[in-house]
Each structure stands twice: as C-alpha cells, then as structure tokens.
Amino acid sequence: MNLEDYLLFFLVWVGHSAIWLVALNVLYSRPYPRQILRLARWAVGVIVFGFPLLVWATVGLDFGPLRTKGPDSIWLSLEVYLALCLGMSCWCIPLVTLIRLLRPSPPALVSRRSEIVDVARELNEKPVGDGEYRWLALLPGNQCFQIEFTELTLKLPRLPQAWHGMTILQLSDLHLSGTPDWRFFEKAIERAMRDGPPDILALTGDFVDTDNHHRWLLPLLNKLDWNEAAFAILGNHDIWHRPERIRRRLTRLGIEMLSDCWRTVEIRGGKLVAIGHEGPWYRGEPDLTQCPENHFRLLLSHTPDNIGWARKNGVDLMLSGHNHGGQIRLPVFGSLFVPSRYSRRYDCGLFWKPPTALHVNRGLGGKEPIRINCRPEVTRIVLQKA
C-alpha cells in the first residue's frame, strides 16, 4: 500500500458518503412518519461510516485485485459502484461546488448588509437552557448563540410604486424546546424590533419541538409588532406537537394563519395577495382558481421545495425556512445535510427563479442546537420598485 492507494480509498469513501447523504436529504423532504425518518438517519450513518470497514474486510484497501476476481456479478457490481463513488468524488462534487461558488448575484438583490449579535456575550453566559440536546450547545466552535441580523434590499418588477420602501420581517424555525432558553429568543425579538415595526411580519413555521413549549409562544411573540399585516404558516415539526394549539395562539396575537389558503390585503392603496403553502405535510396545495392575477403575490412556504409551484402560479416573492442552511457548513464546500428534494441547492440565501424571488432563512433554532459556520438568522427585507 502506498499514498496513492490511501488517497483513492478516501476519494471513494467521500463519493459513497455524498451519494447516501443526497438520498437522505431527499427522503427527509417527504412527509413520512418521524420514526421512519429517524431510523433512516441512523441507517445512513451506519452505511456511511461502516463502508470503510466493509470494503477493507471484503477486498482490502487496494482495489486493483478486484479485476482478477472474474466476471462474477457480485464483484462486477461492486466494481461499478466503487467507480460511481470515485466519479462522484472527482467530478460531480467539484463541479457542483464550482457552480455554487460562481453563481451570480440574483438580479433582484440591490444590497445586503448584516450585523452579528452574540447573545451569550450580552448575557455574560450561554443561554443553554434545559433541552434534550443541551450538551450540543456547549461544543467548541458552536455558533448557535450568535444571531446574524440580515437586511436585504430587493427590486421586484411588479411591486406597486406606493410600496417602495416597504419592509418585511421574516422569522423562521424557532424550534422552541428549552435549548436555547427563553432569554435567547427574547434578545432576538428585541433586536429585530430595534429598527422599528416592519410593515409585514412573516413567520415561516417550525415554532415548537416539544409538547410543553407552546406556553412560550404568547409571551415571546407578543413582543412583535407590525404596521400593516402579520402572516404565519406551520412547518413539519409543528405537525408533531399539537398544531391546532399553535394556530390558536398565533391567532390570539393578531397573526393571520395562511393554512394552505390565500388572502387579499389592502396596503397603502395597493392589493397584496398573501398565500400560505404548508405542503407537503398538511392539507395540500392552495386553490388559486379565484385568486386575482394582477396583484403582487407573496408566498409563505416552510420548505423551498415548493419553488416550482410558486413559479407556475406567478408568485413575486417567496419566503421559506426549513433547511437551516445545513447547520454545519464546511469551508468552500458548504452544507451537508439539507432536508430537501433538491438536496443542497436551496440551503439558504436569495435565489432568482423568474418570476419568483426566493429567500431561504436559516432560522433561529433547531431540534439539535448546533451551528458550525452557519449562524442563526433574522431577515428584514426592504422592497423597491424595479
């Protein structure tokens, strides 16, 4: 064995891992029971990390002798699979990474600025709380208490002139579960309100991650304010924790639930069509057959996977969360685990898919409170007439 053999073995393992991670990403985008998803996650972990041992026990670390084992279908299939893994590692991954790095700035984006607030530093301690996975919050390098407050200025073609300068505040994926604790979210909301109430408040799902943290919703979100309208949808984690209770509490705060439906709202003399799409986990797609076509359309969709539906239905601006930016992002390469049928394509950030501008918020929380090179995010969007 020499260095080239070890390098070849490593590249094959990387390609093998990528194939199974993509499969897991796609699986997690579907509305399967969480027991099945949890089992699949463990199975993929075993497949990925057990692969080196299995190959070593079967053929050793040198793949050369595979060609001498004859035309038996088992050995031929193994050789084809190893070649596929090598191709994934040497061609697909570098090509996709290069495309992502060279992706041009969306034409709708005028400017982007951000400020990072370290809540642990402001509190003089880490607001770890008492959640099930609180030990993850203490890992070195974890940025789960550092919030990036992002302001995006967007020029959109169909925006009414009267709405020039209108603001939207997007909060997503709180995943209230005890970690981070109450003070973290309180600080996040206080800072989000520091620049004044937005014209529109958009909450894009995954509010709770236990059956006991609904009680946090009213006192926390009661600190939010807005000028014109507030909308919300639920996410996939909410369906596991008494979703109707969440809807009732948000409604009590004056936030309108867009549960696979649409509403027309008059703002500054113009008409806004606000749409909520909670698929694929809830009732299905909103029925837009009676929806006016000549008004600006704002879509709240927990998952960005509904981008195809948005484009087909002439949505101007789509706000999503769900993917958390991957939570763990490697330098250059980016995200790994992204629960989307598009895998890493819409992990976070702004995308232009005419006629739709899509923004994917990284969210404030997560069931597992770990963020590596992927801070939590709160987004304020300023709209301009193109």
As given in the structure block, the two tokens for residue 67 are 């060609």
**pLDDT at res. 1:** 58
As given in the structure block, the two tokens for residue 264 are 């027309």
d(CA 153, CA 23): 35
**pLDDT at res. 78:** 80
d(CA 322, CA 335): 14
Least confident of 27-36, 76-85, 114-123, 365-374: 76-85
Nearest C-alpha neighbor of 234 from the set 253, 224, 248, 220: 248
**pLDDT at res. 178:** 97
**pLDDT at res. 65:** 56
CA atoms within 13 A on the CB side of 153: 9
- Residues with Cβ within 8 Å of 97's Cβ and at least 6 positions away in sequence, in order, are 332, 333, 334
CA 142, chain centre distance (Å):
18
In tens, the pLDDT along 195-240 reads 999 999 999 999 999 999 999 999 999 999 999 999 999 999 999 9
Count of beta carbons in the 10 Å neighbourhood of residue 108: 24
**pLDDT at res. 71:** 58
Q: Do β-strands 334-335 and 356-360 pair in parallel, antiparallel, or remain unpaired?
A: unpaired
Does 313 score more than 60 pLDDT?
yes
d(CA 347, CA 170): 16
Does 109 score more than 70 pLDDT?
yes
Summarize the confidence of residues 169-181 as an average pLDDT: 98
Summarize the confidence of residues 322-330 as an average pLDDT: 97
Which residues partner with 297 through β-bridges?
273
In tens, the pLDDT along 289-308 reads 999 989 999 999 999 999 99
User: What's the mean pLDDT when you consider all of the chain?
Assistant: 93
Are 281 and 31 spatial neighbours (Cβ–Cβ below 8 Å)? Answer: yes
Least confident of 276-285, 326-335, 361-370: 276-285
As given in the structure block, the two tokens for residue 111 are 């400017």
Residue for token pair 């893994």: 85
Confidence class for position 53, pLDDT limits 50, 70, 90: confident
